[in-house]
Structures are given as structure tokens and as C-alpha cells.
Structure 1
């Protein structure tokens, strides 16, 4: 496997930090790993290594404002979650399609990364895609109640106040991931209060975007995930009206390799238990293509 770090210009010229893993032999296909909100690409390094060992070329990256795609100063930096989808995800997808024009193109979206698969016009180029812990992020879907109160305080108090005072959200200091651009935090906060998340935001037109996706989808959820609960996953999945969906809601206790939650799927402790579900599915779709 050859690992390369690249700087990829997005559609509007912003530089994105990208890591490319290429197998020694001809790639079986290309897998794009779209991150969750405030999550740097390094979380996905272990599963990216496993995918490369299976023969895939694997692309991980950071959204603008995050990790290696962060500017010198976040104060005053203009970015929204919709920018992540329309500019960053589309840029990475189009770049990969041009670099490997004859290879099956697949994607794995974690949380917001799964949203982006539904939102992006470039998803029409995908052979297949998997959504891990992706859900309509309405606050009312979060359980238990104490986690819902914590999320409400974060999104309705901490994010608006700190973004107004500092020009960004210092998430690292709070212990909730990477710092967030103010526009990202504000848009996320607004969507969480809408009855159907961004499907109720007319500026997004999310329902029509999701309906364009006609590729096979694997949707994975976990019973100890307080954020991506079944009602939220149901709402998100219901808008993929043209896709062929295979869905699994897995029990952390039955799996037996420890807690999963919203982020744990990508940790190496689940390599032998959870990852084969995803890796086998992607490999089968690539081979079939």
C-alpha cells in the first residue's frame, strides 16, 4: 500500500487536505470516506487501511474548516454544512472519478457524510454507498433524555454564543471534536429544531436531492447510539425513494466487541465483528460492477 497526502482544490478554490491509500495491485474500486461533523479524517485511518488491504484505493479527507483543511484563522471564515456537501464532497467525488475513470466508485458516509451522499449531485456517479450512523438530526430523536438535554445545550446555547463571541465554536476546548466554523454551527443548530431536519429547509431542497439517488445503499445503525436512533434513521432513509436499500440495526451487546455509539464503528476494536458487514458489501458491489 502506498499512502500519499495531497492538497485538493475544491470547486471554489479552497484547499482540502486529502489522504490517498493505493493498493500495490490494480484497484478493485475506489472508496470515498465522507466524515461526520467535527470529526477529522484520522478517525477513519484504521478502516481505510483495511479497505486498502482488500484492494481498494481509499480517499479520506477533511471538510473545509476541519483538520488539514482548516485555514490559519477560523474567526470570520465562511463555511456552512451545505458548503461541505455542495463544494467539498462534490469536489472530492469528481476528482476521484477523473483520476480512476474505469474503476467502480463507492462511498462511505458517517453521520453528516451520509447526508452528503443524499445531497450531492455527484452521487449519480457512485456504484454503491454505505451510510453509517446517518440520521435526520432532530433533537427530539436523541435518547436518553439526559443526552438530549446535553445536545440541546450544546446546539442552542454553546454554539450560538461562542460563534457570536469568537467567530467560531471552540469545540476542542469543550471536548466535542474539532473546532467548527460559525456558519456550520449556526446551520446545524437551525436544522436540529426543524420537524424534519433539513428536509424542512426550503433553501436546501433536500427531498428532491435525495430522490435523485438510485444507487444501492447499505444503512447501518446501532442500538447504543444516542444520536442516530431508529426514528431519525427512518426519516432520513424514507427520502431515498429511488434507491435500493439494505438496512441493519445492530446490537452492541450481540456484537460483543464493546460499545459502538455514534463514533465507535470506525475503531479497530470492531475490525473482526462489525467491519466485515461493510467491507464484504462494498467488495461485492465492486466485483459486480
Structure 2
């Protein structure tokens, strides 16, 4: 079977730092589309990581938009967007992608999936207010002190808050690849991330963000998905996030390695074809039901 064509595009981003753009791709189904799915990525995760899930979604009839966050990639990309913070990804990049999809396909229902910070943005209403449904994958209240594994807690503390912060100050970007923490990212994003990680309630404790009030206002149905062995977003911390959704109907699902027939899932595994493919039909079923509901 031929690999579906990912049509490349540039999405404009109105930004506090001046007009900018993000790279994206749109994938069309072979037949009549039933809905549009926008995939919002995780921190330090490249757009191409989501292509396999996008192809599975297109096979189910979705038009799928994928994109990359500003400053995520190699050192040149990270340095070029060194002032971009995590809140800018949520309040600027993600709404820009959602607006592009809404404008390009105005006559179809829209749903979205957010991985980690992508889910954080969606449940705060950034790009999610008019959606028929939202899937969050491994999105949680991300305080370092809540990481269950002591070794992982130390690795995160050193990689992000210790060595990572020092390297970022010296280099002018966060060297995620060199530290084994994903792609390189802007220094401002790293500094804001480490500050939030030290707060007991993560960004909910940042009074400049207003995250708690935003989450409480969201009314879009949410399917909150996670893995039982995720060292960062364990089921308890996912619950800590979605329990703040006062108006949105929430469905919770925790996948285990045993039921998927794999040894380990982790923080990214549910979206890897080699690990999470067995979970995709259930996720896509939920999205299809949400898209076909009343609008």
C-alpha cells in the first residue's frame, strides 16, 4: 500500500514577538471526509512523530492536520525562537493551527487530539472552544515531585532543572537531543517549564496564566487517555488535571502494556505505531462518535 501524501503548508502565527509561521501538513482521506482532526504536539516532539497516527485517522475518514511548535527541532530552530515560552505555544501556536483548520474546512465538524502540553492547551480552551470533541494523551498535572519513580525524578531534575538549565544559559537553547530529552527547544520555553515543574500544582500555581479558571469553563467533551506505566503522566496525575474540568463531560481510559501486548508504553508510546497501534481503534472510535454528534 502506498504511503498517503502529507501536503505541506505554512501556518501564520500572530505573535507577541511579531508575525511568524509554523510548518504543518494536511492529510486527506481517500473518500468523503467525515471530520477534521488537528493534532497538537507535545513538548520537544517533532511533527513527524504523529504521521503514523495521522495516517490511521485518515484511513478512518478524517482530514488530519499535523504541525510543529515554534523552536522545536535543531539548535538553529531553537535559537531562532529563543524568546518563545510554553505559554506562547499554548496561546499562539495551537490556536493558529486550529484557526487554519477551521478556515480551510468550515463545513465539517472539527475534533482535536493533544499530546501532553497539546492537551494542556486544549483543556484551557486554546483552540478547543468550538470543537465537537477533544482527546488528551498523557496530559497531566506535571509537577516533578509527583513523579513516582525516584530515578526518573532525579533524571528530570538533573536534565531539566540542573544540567539542562546550565546548558541552556550557555548555549542559548535547550539541547534536548544531547540530553536525551527529545528535540532542542527555545531557552524561554525551558525556563518556564522548569519553573512550573517546581510548583506543587504545576502551571495552575502560576497566577499570570489563569489556567484553573480556563479549564473550569471548558464544556467540550474530553476523552483523557494515558498509560499505566507512564513515568511522567501516571493515572493519578491525569486525574488531577481532568478533575478540574467542571463543565466538560470526561471519559477516562488507562491502557496497560499487557492489554496492548507490549513490554512498555511510557509517555510517548500510545502514539507510536510499534507500541500503541492496538489502542488507536478505541481512540478513533471516540473521535468518530464525537464528530458525528449534534453540533
Does residue 7 (structure 1) correspond to residue 10 (structure 2)? The answer is yes
Does residue 186 (structure 1) correspond to residue 191 (structure 2)? The answer is yes
How far apart, CA to CA, are the structure 2 residues paired with 1:132 and 1:88? 19
Rate the CA distance shift 1:44–1:72 in 2: closer, same or farther, 3 A: closer
> What is the aligned partner in structure 1 of residue 165 from structure 2?
160
> What is the aligned partner in structure 2 of residue 228 from structure 1?
233
The TM-score, its normalising length taken from structure 2, stands at 0.93
In the alignment, is the contact (CA less than 8 A) between 2:8 and 2:23 conserved in 1?
Answer: yes
Does residue 240 (structure 1) correspond to residue 245 (structure 2)? The answer is yes
How far apart, CA to CA, are the structure 1 residues paired with 2:78 and 2:223? 38
Does residue 41 (structure 1) correspond to residue 47 (structure 2)? The answer is yes
In the TM superposition, 1:73-112 aligns within 5 A as 74=79, 77-112=82-117
**CA apart distance, 1:5:** 0.6
1:85 aligned counterpart, secondary structure: helix
**CA apart distance, 1:67:** 3.4
Rate the CA distance shift 1:254–1:2 in 2: closer, same or farther, 3 A: closer
In the alignment, is the contact (CA less than 8 A) between 1:212 and 1:242 conserved in 2?
Answer: yes
Stretch of structure 1 that moved more, 113-122 or 240-249: 113-122
In the TM superposition, 1:259-274 aligns within 5 A as 259-270=264-275, 272-274=277-279
Rate the CA distance shift 1:113–1:73 in 2: closer, same or farther, 3 A: closer
Spell out structure 1 runs of 4+ moving beyond 2 A: 70-73, 119-122, 269-272
> What is the aligned partner in structure 1 of residue 35 from structure 2?
29
Structure 1 residues 41-81: Cα deviation after superposition (integer angstroms, max 9, x where no partner) = 1111101000001110000100000139x865616721000
> What is the aligned partner in structure 2 of residue 53 from structure 1?
59
Of 277, 282, 287 in structure 2, the residue corresponding to residue 282 of structure 1 is 287
1:165 aligned counterpart, secondary structure: helix
The TM-score, its normalising length taken from structure 1, stands at 0.95
Equivalenced residues, count: 288
1:241 aligned counterpart, secondary structure: coil
How far apart, CA to CA, are the structure 2 residues paired with 1:36 and 1:175? 15
In the alignment, is the contact (CA less than 8 A) between 2:73 and 2:185 conserved in 1?
Answer: no
How far apart, CA to CA, are the structure 2 residues paired with 1:255 and 1:173? 31
Does residue 172 (structure 1) correspond to residue 177 (structure 2)? The answer is yes
How far apart, CA to CA, are the structure 2 residues paired with 1:100 and 1:239? 31
Structure 1 residues 175-197: Cα deviation after superposition (integer angstroms, max 9, x where no partner) = 22110100000000000111100
2:7 aligned counterpart, secondary structure: strand
How far apart, CA to CA, are the structure 2 residues paired with 1:171 and 1:193? 19
In the alignment, is the contact (CA less than 8 A) between 2:8 and 2:25 conserved in 1?
Answer: yes
Structure 1 residues 14-47: Cα deviation after superposition (integer angstroms, max 9, x where no partner) = 1100011011323110111111110001111101
